[in-house]
Amino acid sequence: MDFTLTEEQRAIEDGIGQIMSDFGDEYWLEKDKTGGFPEEYYQAMASGGWLGVSFPEAYGGADLGIASAAVMMRAIASSSGAMQAASAIHMNVFGPKAVAVFGTDEQKQRWLPPIISGEQKSAFGVTEPNAGLDTGSITTRAERTNDGYVVNGRKVWTSTAQVADKILLLARTTPKEECERGIDGLSLFYTDLDRSACDVREIDKMGRKSVDSNEVFIDNLKVPAKDLIGEEGKGFRYILYSMNPERILIGAEAVGIGFEAVRRASEYAKERVVFGRPIGQNQGIQHPLAESWAQLEAAWMMCMKAAALYDAGESCGAEANAAKYLGSEAGFTACERAVLAHGGMGYAKEFHVERLMREVMINRIAPVSQQMVLNFIAERVLGLPKSY
Ligand SMILES: Cc1cc2nc3c(=O)[nH]c(=O)nc-3n(C[C@H](O)[C@H](O)[C@H](O)COP(=O)(O)OP(=O)(O)OC[C@H]3O[C@@H](n4cnc5c(N)ncnc54)[C@H](O)[C@@H]3O)c2cc1C
C-alpha cells in the first residue's frame, strides 16, 4: 500500500497547475455570470496533451489510467475553475472509454484522435425525462434501416450539446417488453450530433453556467451502421464500463473543490479581524474547517483506492460508488462551511466560495444520486434485499 503520488502524478499536478494559473478567479467568475463555453481553456488543455490522458497511445493518448486521471481532475477542480473547468473536459477523459474498449480499430482511429487533439467535442446522451435514474426505461428508439438506424426520442441534461460535434447516445433497439431485463435491448452509438435532426435547448441552471446542459429532441436522426459500438442490444453493458471511472473522477473533483474552499476560508479567517482578533482564532471557525480537511483526505483515499483497483483490472463497483458518495458529501460540506466562515462575504460573488458551493452540488446529483449509491452498497455489499 503506497499513499504517495508517483513522480508522474506529481508532474501531472505541476503541469495542470501551470495551465490553470492562466485561468484565474476573474475568468471563471465572468464565465459563471455570462456563460459561453470556455474554449480558450479547452484549447489550452488540448495543446498540453491533457485530453488524451486515459486513451491508448496508439491513437494519440497517454494511457495513464484512472488514478492519474483522478489526480488530474482533482487538480483542475481545485483551481478556481471548479466544475466549469472539470466538466468542460470531463467527457473527453472518461466518456469515450466505451469506444476505447469496445470500438473496432477503425472506429478508434476515426473517433479518438479528433477528441484528443481538441478538434471535436462530444456529449453524453443517456438521461431521459420520463426514465430518470431508471435507465432501463428509456424510450428513445433506434429503428434499423438498410444502411443503419433512424433515431427518435428525447434526452435531458445532455451536457455540452450546444457545442458538441458528436454524441455518445444510448437508445432502445428492442422493445422493453421483448427483453428479459429492462437494461437489455439498449444499443450504444457514437455519432454526429446532427442539428438538422436534433433540437438542442439549453436548461437555465444553478451553477456551472459555461458548460451547458440541455434538452435534446431527436427527430429522425440518421445513424450509419458504422457508428454502432459493439453489438446491438448490449449498450448498457458498455456504458457500465465507463460508469466506475466516472464515479471516481466525480469524487476526485468534489474533493478538489472542497480543498479549495477550505484553503480560501482559512486564508480569510487569518485576515478578518472581529472583536480584536482574527476570526480564525475561534475554535468555532477552526474546527469545522479542520474536520472538513480530515473528511476530504479520507474521501480522497477512497478515490485512489477505487482507482487503483480499476487500473489493476479488479472489481471496484463498491469503492467507486463510495468514492463518489464520500467525495461529494465532503466537498459540499467543506464549501458550505467556507461560505459560513466568510460571514456575509461568503454570500458575495467576489469571494468565490458561493460559486464553489453551487457547483459542487452537481456531484451529489449526477451522474447518479447519493441515494442510488447507497442502494447499490446496501444490496451488493451488505446483501440486503433490493428496495425498489
Ligand atoms: C448539471 C448536470 C449535468 C448532467 N449531465 C448529464 C449528461 O451529460 N448526460 C446525461 O445523460 N445525464 C446528465 N445529467 C443527468 C443526471 O445524471 C441525472 O440528473 C441523475 O442521474 C438523476 O436523474 P434524475 O434527474 O432523472 O432524477 P430522478 O430519477 O427523477 O430521481 C429524483 C430523486 O429521487 C431519488 N430516487 C429515485 N428512485 C429512488 C430509489 N429507488 N431509491 C431512493 N431514491 C430514489 C433520487 O435519488 C433523486 O434524489 C446531468 C445532470 C445535471 C444536474
Q: 3-state SS string over 136-186?
A: HHCCCEEEECCCEEEEEEEEEEEECCCCCCEEEEEEECCCHHHCCCCCCCE
Q: How far is the CA of 128 from the CAs of 46, 88, 138, 161, in angstroms?
A: 31, 21, 6, 14
Q: Cell triple for residue 214?
A: 440541455
Whether 369 is in the pocket of ligand 1, judged by its Cβ within 6 Å, is yes
Among left, alpha and beta (phi > 0; psi -120 to 50; other), residue 4 is: beta
Tell how far the Cα of 144 is from the centroid of ligand 1, in angstroms.
29
Q: Is 367 in the pocket of ligand 1 (CB under 6 A)?
A: yes
- pLDDT band, very low/low/confident/very high, at 98 (cuts 50, 70, 90): confident
- pTM of the complete model beyond 0.95: yes
User: What is the pLDDT averaged over residues 264-292?
Assistant: 98
Distance 367 CA to ligand 1 centre (A): 7
- Distances from the Cα of 286 to the Cαs of 23, 272, 355, 374, 388, in angstroms? 30, 13, 22, 31, 42
On the question of pLDDT at 222 being above 80, the answer is yes
Predicted pLDDT of residue 54: 84
What is the average per-residue pLDDT within 28-55? Answer: 95
Question: Across residues 84-106, what is the average pLDDT?
Answer: 89
Cis? peptide before 367, omega within 30° of 0 = yes
Ligand 1 centroid–CA 147 distance in Å is 34
Residue 96 has pLDDT above 80, yes or no: no
Contact 338, 263 (CB under 8 A): no
Stretch 135-139: mean pLDDT, rounded?
97
Q: Does any ligand 1 atom lie closer than 6 A to the CB of residue 132? A: yes
Tell me the percentage of the chain whose pLDDT exceeds 70.
100
pLDDT band at 241 (very low <50, low <70, confident <90, very high): confident
Is ligand 1 within 6 A of the CB of residue 340? Answer: no
Which cell goes with 24? 484565474
* DSSP class of 378: I
User: Which amino acid type is present at position 375?
Assistant: N
List the grid coordinates of 163: 457545442
Smallest Cα–Cα separation from 229: which of 122, 372, 369?
Answer: 122
What is the rounded distance in angstroms from the CA atom of residue 297 to the CA atom of residue 291?
A: 10
> Percent of the chain at pLDDT above 90?
93
State whether the beta carbon of 325 lies less than 6 angstroms from ligand 1: no
Residue 131 Cβ contacting ligand 1 at under 6 Å: no
pLDDT of residue 92: 82
N- to C-terminal Cα separation, the chain: 37
Mean pLDDT across 40-55: 94
Task: Give the pLDDT of residue 213.
Answer: 98
Q: Which three cell numbers stand for residue 179?
A: 427483453
Ligand 1 center to residue 65 CA distance, Å?
27
| Model pLDDT, residue 367 | 95
